[in-house]
Amino acid sequence: MEAPKRRQDVPEEKSEELTIEEAARLLFVSRTHLNKLLDDGKLSGVRTTEDGQRRIPRTTVVAYREQMRAAQKEGLNRMVESTDRMGLYDAELEGLPERRRTPR
């Protein structure tokens, strides 16, 4: 059996610094969006090379990714709690037949 292939869109963990493209792939965002995040100061520790290319510390990108995931999870939980409070799921369940397990 062959070992599973590594996803091509996620940069290997060799480098301490990532290019814009590598960081964008790691965050699953476009390069344009990543540049906006950098311009807005959302990612720190950015270094500009002699030829004008930006390099971002891998630790900064990974930390931002974890913040994004936590914010998404929190938002989803708040949305589910709100719909529960409003009873939106109750209306969907009305009229559905109950499934009963048969004893084995």
Three-class SS of residue 62? helix
Q: Which domain holds residue 69?
A: 17-90
| pLDDT for residue 64 | 97
Q: Does residue 103 form part of some domain?
A: no
Q: Taking 60 as the threshold, does the pLDDT of residue 11 lie above it? A: no
Q: Does residue 101 form part of some domain?
A: no
Q: Does residue 83 form part of some domain?
A: yes
List strands edge to edge, sheet with 54-57.
17-18, 54-57, 47-48
Q: Does residue 39 form part of some domain?
A: yes
CATH code assigned at 73: 1.10.1660
Q: Does residue 33 form part of some domain?
A: yes
| pLDDT for residue 3 | 53
Q: Does residue 97 form part of some domain?
A: no
For the residues 94-104, what does the mean pLDDT come to? Answer: 74
In sign, the C-alpha dihedral spanning 31, 34, 40, 44 is negative
Q: Confidence band (pLDDT; 50, 70, 90) for 85? A: confident
In total, how many domains does the chain have?
A: 1
Question: How far apart (Å, rounded) are the C-alpha atoms in residues 23 and 46?
Answer: 11
CA distances from 65 to 25, 28, 40, 60, 62 (A): 11, 9, 16, 9, 5
Q: Does residue 48 form part of some domain?
A: yes
pTM of the predicted model as reported, rounded to 2 decimal places: 0.67
Of these ranges, 8-12, 49-53, 88-92, the one predicted with the greatest mean pLDDT is 49-53
Q: Does residue 104 form part of some domain?
A: no
Higher local confidence (pLDDT), 11 or 86: 86
